[in-house]
Every structure is written in C-alpha cells, then in structure tokens.
Amino acid sequence: MNRRSTIPFGPQHPVLPEPIQLHLVMENEKIIQALPAVGYIHRGLEKIAEKKDYIQDVYLAERICGICSFMHSQNYCQGIEELMKVTVPDRAKYLRVIWAETHRIHSHLLILGLLADAFGFENLFMRLWKVREQILDIMEKTTGNRVILGVCAIGGVKRDITPELADYVLRQLESVEKQLPELCDSLLKDYSVRQRLIGVGVLPKDKAHELGAVGPVARASGLRMDLRERGYAAYGDLDFKMVTEEAGDCYARTTVRVKELYTSLELVRKAIQRMPQGPIAVPVKGTPPADEVLARIEQPRGELNFYIRGNGTRNLERFRVRTPTFANLPALLHQLTGCELADVPVIAICIDPCISCTER
Amino acid sequence: MVNLTNSIFRKLFSRPETLRYPFVKRELPEGTRGRIDIEIDKCTFCGACEKRCPANSLKVTREPKSWTINPYSCIICGYCIEVCPKKCIIAHKEHYSPNT
C-alpha cells in the first residue's frame, strides 16, 4: 500500500487571492481526499445587518464582496423593494444592468488574469488586468468610485448616465472589445495553456447538478442555469442568451467566462441604446413589513441568494446570505479528488473562489 | 505565440501605461467621492448625519457646537450628504492626504 500524507494548501498561498485552507490527503502525487477549512475572514456581517437600519444595510450589503459589490447591493435593494412593494422606474432598471454587467466584465477579466498567473503566464495576467482598468475607469467616471460604487438605493439608483457619459462608455467598450480577441486567443488556443486546462478538474453534468454547482461552473458542465434568463431588472428586454459548454473541465469553465465577456459587452451596449428617459428613483417611505423574501440574482460567480425578513421596524429580523462560492465548494472538492497536486492551483482558481463573500 | 510577438513589438514603441507618481498625479473624474467635508457656517448641528452614518464616523454636539469626522472609519458612502437638511455636507474629489 502506498504511503499517505496530508498537505495543507493555504490559507496563504501564492495563487489564492483570499485565505482558505484545503487539507489534501495525498497518495504519492495523487489527491485522495480534499477537506476545506474556512473561517479565516468571518466578519459577522449578518449580525451587524440586524443592528443597522434597513437603509444603512444597503452600504453593508455592498461591502460583502469587493469584486461584485454592486450586485450585492442590487440584490438587497431588489429584495427590500419586493418586500415593501416598491416599483422601480424603468431607467433605474437599465442603469442597474449597465453597472452589474460592467462588474461582471471586470470580475471575469480579474479571474482570467489570476488563472493565467496560476499556470505561470504572467504576461497574460498583466495584460488582462490592463484591459480591466478600462472597465474600472468606466465605473469611476459614471459612479465616482472604482469598485464599491455606492449608487444602488432602495427605489432606484443615485446617479444617472448622461448622453456624454454614455458615449464615453461605448467608446471604452469598443476599445476593450478590440483588445479582447488577442488575449482570448492566448487563453483558449495556446498549446501550453490548453495542456494545462483540458481534461483537468472534470465535473460531469449529473454531478454538477447533484452537488448544487452554480454559475459558470454549472454552465461549463452543460447545466442551463442563469438567473438573467428570468428577466429581473431589465434583462427581459435585452435578448439575453445564455452561454453553456459541455466538457465540464477547466478549459470549458474558462471558455464560458471568455464568451460571457462578449455577452456582457453586448448587454451594456444594448442597455445604453434602449434605456428609456424618466426618473431614476422613487422615494421610499415606511419600514419593511413583518414578512420575508428570498432575493436572487446572477453574480459573476453564480446565483446569489439573500433571505430577508422584516419585523415592521427599521431593523431587519434576519438577513441571511448564500453566496455562489459557498455553493461551488462541494463541486471543488469533487474536482480535486483524484487529480494531481500540480493541478490544484488551476482547479481552485477555476471556480472563481470569493472567500470574503462566503464567510461574510 | 505569434500574436504575442506582435504585441511585444507594438508595446516597444508605445507610451508607458503608468504615471510617474508623485511627479505626475492622476486626474480624478468629476463626481469622485474622495473625502467628506462640511461648510460649518451653514450647519445647525441637528445631528441627522451622525444618526444615519452607517460607519458611526460622525460626532456632532450642540454644546459646544462641533462637527467631527473620523477619516479612518468613514466609508465615503455619501448618506450624510443625502440626509443633511441644510445641504452643508459636501464630497470633494480629492482623497485625504496621508498626513491628515
């Protein structure tokens, strides 16, 4: 019988952007079992949310994650709006789509860059992040901040995009779209990159369904799961088309993210062109009633769920967050079982782990 | 590999992407939420901003009349600007300098 040993992967590891520990039970170079250890950056946000009033919680929800911050505040606002029966103006819905999709582009470029870094292609990593800067510039110019936008509010949004700014956004998107093919070819067609990604960390469709995988991880295994198809915010008017792949390996997950970059660019463009005139917010008065709501939204990493329960006062009775990375962890452990130690960084990065969200 | 070689040659003749900070400073766009300030002459010290601040960064007292902000805990969300009845709280686009 081969000798078994346990290797701790993380919490501090060059490829991990955030701390999570994986205890890898090894037999020679092969992983027999992977056990996660989380809790390094727990902040108790759900409890803090009960202490603050429901408007202050918008800012708190936005700070759950530093990458997809706008979507957290959007999901929270959509949940409270459903609870309080508030109808958001159409223009605000389109503006929410614009900022949510720019967030998705910057998040996907970020993780594709980190993936390139994980398999040692540092030049590609830096060039992908250079393109990402242009997306951050769009957000800074339209909202006043690069990542924590702070523009989503209960009843609408706080800032408008003027025609001049819309022109600027379209120009930037055109420039980003021109640079993408060269970078995406390096990611998807390069011989060395394909060798590192194809057939690595395979998650079959039935297993993805059984383990509750979400987002690009599920879509790369052939599951048709994308909440944007349900048409929340303004997605119903933008002819959104879901991206799926069948192979279920790291290459398929990368392909899904690359194709989603183009989908998001198209969505932002359509949202700007079709955005109606009108108010960007409605005043909201009163307090959330003693009722509950489950708010769902499609984040760059998958489905984000907020369970919100009001009690008739300005404070919430309960605020529960289920993030996509939490849902993808069982799928990650399944992918790691049976793989080689050298493939662990690529597999771990390929689920796009966001540990701050997961631990809240 | 071929397209990367093209890119390398292109970059050899293009300008650097970075700025020579601190000699050249980045120009911030209009509307940047850099730091919170107050026009103290207009303030009535009602305390609405202190009550609503999500980060508990503001301290307002009527006697003696004072309005102070903790720049280290302020998240520059702008909620105080929205709730101020006298509209005397403003956001500058410049950030706090390290020595404040």
The closest CB to that of B32, out of A130, A144, A182, belongs to: A144
Neighbours of A44 (CB within 10 A): 9
Q: What is the mean pLDDT of chain A?
A: 89
Average of per-residue pLDDT across A310-339: 90
Tell me which residue in B1, B52, B78 faces A150 most closely, judged by beta carbons: B78
Q: Is the pLDDT of residue B1 over 60?
A: no
> Which residue, among B28, B79, B92, would best test binding to A if mutated, counting the most A CBs under 10 Å from its CB?
B79
- CA dihedral in degrees (A128, A129, A130, A133; nearest 10)? 130
The nearest CA of chain B is from the CA of A60 a distance in Å of: 8
Among residues A117, A97, A88, the alpha carbon closest in space to that of A266 is found at: A97
A16 pLDDT exceeds 90?
A: no
Q: Does residue B65 lie within any of the structural domains? A: yes
Domains, chain A, ordered by start: 1-40 (no CATH), 43-350 (1.10.645.10)
The Cα A219–Cα A301 span in angstroms is 11
Please give the helix or strand (H or E) that residue A126 lies within, else none.
Answer: helix A122-143
Instruction: Determine, for residues B32 and A52 on separate chains, whether the beta-carbon distance falls below 8 Å.
Output: no
Nearest residue, CB atoms, A52 vs list B32, B33, B54: B54
Does residue B99 form part of some domain? no
Residue B61 belongs to some domain of the structure:
yes
Q: Are B75 and A60 within 8 A, CB to CB?
A: no
Whether residues A140 and B78 touch (CB distance < 8 A) is answered with no
CB < 8 Å to A185, chain B: 3
Residues of A in contact with B51 (CB under 8 A): none
Neighbours of A36 (CB within 10 A): 17
Q: Which pLDDT value is given to residue A229?
A: 87
User: Cβ contacts of residue A323 below 8 Å, gap of 6+?
Assistant: A64, A65, A299, A301, A304, A354, A357, A358, A360
- Which pTM was predicted? 0.90
Q: Per-residue pLDDT for A185 more than 60?
A: yes
Q: Are A46 and A321 in contact (CB under 8 A)?
A: yes
On the question of pLDDT at A307 being above 90, the answer is yes
For the domain that residue B15 is a member of, what is the CATH number?
Answer: 3.30.70.20
DSSP state of B69: E
Q: Look at residues A29, A36, A21 and name the one whose alpha carbon lies nearest to residue A329.
A: A36
The per-residue pLDDT for B2 is 58
Q: Nearest-CA distance from A22 to chain B in Å?
A: 33
Residues 40-79 of B with CB under 8 A from A: 52, 54, 75-79
Does residue A223 sit in helix, strand or coil? coil
Indicate if the pLDDT at residue A260 is higher than 90.
yes
Average pLDDT of the residues in A13-37: 86
Show the domain range for B9.
Answer: 2-92
Does the pLDDT at position A137 exceed 80? yes
For residue B41, is it within any domain? yes
- Is the ipTM value over 0.90, yes or no? no
Q: Mutate which of B2, B5, B6, B7 to disrupt the A interface (most A C-beta within 10 Å)?
A: B7
Percent of chain A topping pLDDT 90: 42
Residue B98 lies in a domain: no
- Let me know if residue B57 belongs to a domain: yes
How far apart, in whole angstroms, are the C-alpha atoms of residue A193 and residue A29? 21
How many structural domains comprise chain B? 1
Question: Measured between beta carbons, which residues in chain B are less than 8 angstroms from residue A64?
Answer: none
Q: From CA A327, how far away is CA A101, in angstroms rounded?
A: 22
- Strand ranges (DSSP E) for chain B? 35-38, 58-61, 66-69, 89-92
B58, part of any domain: yes
The answer to whether position B83 is within a domain reads yes
Chain A hits for B91, Cβ within 8 Å: 144
Pick the closest to residue A134 from A174, A182, A79 (CA basis).
Answer: A174
- For residue range A210-228, what is the model confidence (pLDDT) as tens digits? 999 999 999 999 999 888 8
Instruction: Select the residue of B17, B54, B91 nearest A60 (Cβ to Cβ).
Output: B54
